[in-house]
Structure 1
């Protein structure tokens, strides 16, 4: 065989062999991802193109060479589509790689392939001649369909290179290096193809140097796969974990600028984007210390986060940035607040037990001793009165503990039904105007009961009017009595713990319980004067909407 001929054929044969070997190696692996399957498809296309062109150059028969060129175009036209699909998968854009989308992307190559095989109206080849010399490549004059295919193929290839480099840069320096190397491996044959089509190639006319340069692409792929684990450490798998983790993950460079983040991280830093500073988001002690490593706690947009910061080093142990992981601990904080409320409840109960009930027992004992000595009924009445008072206090404490420690989820309550059920316990004239549905729990009955009892016992009212108005997200309940009213100077104090006023002052817990419960519902309560006399309790609670 002519040595010159071998010099032309061997590089292309080598490129085809590398592509075939990589195809077989990837196809026979036990666990194949979608990315690997697409890689097999790309290598198959390269193999068809390379081996087909070797046979074309070997042939001396123009009809056989034309047939081989048509077979080559199966690989040539499917290669750009496969490359773009590979780039989509590498970038994690799963929705783009569907049968429908691939069919749409393949429509132009498929039509051009039919035109190529039929050369309908000479749209693909205007004319074809056989080269002369050591090798005999076809020397065609291309038609418009060929140039449409070239433009379309270049568009897909450059789009794939863009997606590939963009994702590689996002994944960090290690993948950026791989991305640049692979992009170079793709661009080398493209440059060769441009040289061939422009007619400035120093090689014999018709000799397409594109398959020749595939040998560089093959060597680069071998290096990436076997030295960098290109198909083993799949960035899409990394990205899947990165995106699906519930914690917010943000990576910054050595200057504190945002490099990348997952979806939860995007929500945390919004509206800031890549390249922006983390200043104002994280505490200064994290940002200012170059190699801060440890835990911290931050609050942002009403939520609490545990922050774990880990420094990132390159292969030479140089500090290059930080990985910031933020775990939402808002629910834990709420639980801690509930525990604090329970502790506060226990403190109140203990205080009452030590003070009020002990005091009542001492008075009851003294009264009982006086009754035994003097047989005066009023001392016995005092005993019963103090016992009743202690029983009521214990009931109040039970209510307080229940209301503050209730961990049940709120549900919808019809306020008209609640008020009617409470009013059944009182011989009192009342009117209800309007209605609304609110989010609450069983404690809402105690709220209304405490307000009504307070009006009857302390204000001396004989009638009440309740008016309810519902808006899109709020229910306003106005409970008006016609008693002696509440002095302006104590209106802000009546909801305080243990606040008492006048001779009829009770335990000072009733309205405190009311305020605590309504606040637990996310609502508010205040008092206003009623005209001509009395008090209006104004309650605002969340609507069912």
Structure 2
């Protein structure tokens, strides 16, 4: 089919109409956008007008062509009203749009549009003309239909253009590209309509304004919803530079200053010497940026604030042209003075913590803390007060030189004391809560100088740390308080450590003294006891054979007791060595079978009606010493002396497992109550009437600890009466 002018124009008008309706639909889907509703109403009427105009092109001589032409003209009149509403919302002037005003504006344009429609419909004999292959009805230029564009369409469009242009150049506009696209779309529509009104059209009855409105709506919708220019470039570059706190300087290829943002101008003492080499106004700055170094702007330069040097981190970014050649630089200076101060302070605090570790007395700890306040935080008035438990007061301890000099020059005591009460210092000590900022109020003491606002920190049970900067101090910053908090906490920990180490040293000294006394008395006891026993034993040996009868029996008794006393002296030595933790290098391999056989034979001979049975063969050597026999003898003695049977028995069995030998010494006595099985080893001597001198089961426990073994009592597993002493001894091989 050949593409005729009729089909081409109809297709263009229909396409524009459908595009307008499509924009209206999309705008209604984006209800979260403030301008979506007016945009929708701005697009739908021109879209419908375009479809009506397409109908008149296809059927110009149809009876309904006049109605379609009138509808198209009336619908187009609504678009400027909604475009004005859209512009007011988009540019942030929606506060003037109350609901009544919106309705009034739309109503006025609806009435005017209705008048135009009625006038056009009531016209009789609308001429139909054919020009350039197009046949269209042509309305004569008379009545409201001829002047409505001038009176009603152009004013809101011109107002909207003014608002958009003003918004475009506004420094507050962060949608500049988006605004430019919307402004361009409006201008296209306006130019198209002006061209039609001026007669620039293929046909005098062909009004393409609806198509231009649809194109406008498509462009606006794309700018708002599809390409979202805001996310591509959220801020105009000049706004970024204006709002940046960091100084930014633009340099040419020769490092001469081209421009600077307000922060950079302030850095240059309020001036912007364009064309001046940057190294002339800020010496060394560009070289530092080129080498990737930090830069300090020293005292006396225009870059200082109040005479204080500042340190900057420099970021140099080259500006390149389309040929990738460097044509200049963007230099950004980030002030890191405070950051560096914090780093230096933290490093110094770490050094203070190391010094605390070497302090051995509370006075040394407090001296380190006060010196750190004076040198590190640069606060001249600082001091500590320590708690005197005997007097229940806080006494002055260590002060900075400035505060100590003030006390010496003043009319107050150099060593003030704070008693319990409502004074700030005592309240901080008693409550354990720090007090920051306010001047110190004292009730019982006076300060020799006005120290201004203060920081008071409790030091646990030790006292209080006070920090002041003088009456002209502006107040403590958050960093000041953080560093002071850390110092106070570290000081308290150091005082705790010193106190614990002092107590530990005293405890060790006391223990060493007691151990030395124990060793002395033990040595003296054994020396004198053994010497006396040797004398007694000599006389007993001389009497043996010289006496008979009852006298001979008494001599034999004396001989037995002297043997027991000698054995006890050896046991005391072993117990002392074990308790004092002395060297156990004298432990050796001992033949357990021989020890059991010897002690069993001794008890069989020394006790009538006693049956001793040893069921232990092929036992390995155990790790012990020469007193292992005394350990076994004490266990045998315990089994015999507490046995109330007329025919007492002692049964010994042994087993070897996992590098240890387990002895089980069972008797047929009354047994041991469960609550006494562990307490029995705490007895210091054997019971009266045992016929022997020694440490009994306490000696057994101590010696087995020395051997690395164990001992406990059990009930007999066979259900018979009696108790079983269970002894574990490490084998000599396993011990090695």
Question: TM-score under structure 2 normalisation?
Answer: 0.39
TM-score norm. by structure 1 comes to: 0.49
Higher relative contact order by CA 8 Å / sep ≥ 6: 1 or 2?
Answer: 1
